[in-house]
Amino acid sequence: MPQITRLIQLIEENCREKGFSENKIIKIVALVQTTLKQGLPEKDDLESSLETIGALK
């Protein structure tokens, strides 16, 4: 759907504006895309994703 594409585009733009690394951007986008495809992540999976994102520059 065009709205989803636009959301990803906005996330990427906002990440770049913040100076996040490409690796970090990929992880944030992946979290959103996985949620849209598979539903809400389990708490443990989410914590693990967020820890990885937080550790990246």
Partner 1 sequence: MSGLDVSILSIHWDNIRAFGGRPDSDPISAPPMDGEKHNDFPQSTNLFIQMPNGTGKTTTLHLLRSVCIGKIWTSGASSGGKSGVITEQYRRILGDEDDAVSSVTGIFKTRMKINGEVYGFEIRLNHESGVDEWWTETPGGRRKGWHPPREFSQIFKNNPRLIELFVFDGETSRRVRKRADQHLLEKAIRQFGGLSLVYDLVGEPDIKNKYSGGRFQTVLDSLTKDLGNLDFAGAGGAKVKNWKNCLEKVILHEKELQNSLDTAIKDKKNANIELGDIETGLEKIEDESGSAIVELKDIGREILDLDDNLDEATGTMLLEFLNPSRIFINEWNKISDFHKDHKDRKLPADVGKAWLVGLAEQADVCVCGEKLTQDMRQHIQDHLDSHLDMDKMVAVSGMQSAFATSPTANREPLSASKALVMDYDQKKSEAQLKKETMFNQKALEDQKVVRDKLSSEKLLQSKNKDVAESKIRELTETNLVWLTRENKSVGINTDGNPTMSAGVIPLIVNMFILEKVKSNLLHELQDAKGNVSMYEGMEQTREIIGKSLTQLSIEMREQVSDQATKVWRTMPAAAAEGKRLRISIEPDGLAIYRGKNTVGGVSGAQIVSACYSITKSIGDLGEVSFPLICDTPFAGFDTGMYAPWYTNITKSFSQVIALINTNEKSGLLESVWNNSNGEGDYRASVRQLEKKAPDGGKQLQFTEDRMIFNTLKSAMDFDLGEE
Binding mask 25-54 for partner 1 (x = CB under 8 A): ---x--xx--xx--xxx-x--xx-xxxxxx
Residues 7, 36: contact at Cβ < 8 Å?
A: no
Size of the site for partner 1 (CB under 8 A): 32
Task: Write the secondary structure of 18-35 as one string of H (helix), E (strand) and C (coil).
Answer: HCCCHHHHHHHHHHHHHH
Q: What CA–CA distance (Å, rounded) separates 49 from 28?
A: 9
Residues that bind partner 1 (CB under 8 A): 1, 3-4, 6-7, 10-11, 14-15, 18, 20-22, 28, 31-32, 35-36, 39-41, 43, 46-47, 49-55, 57
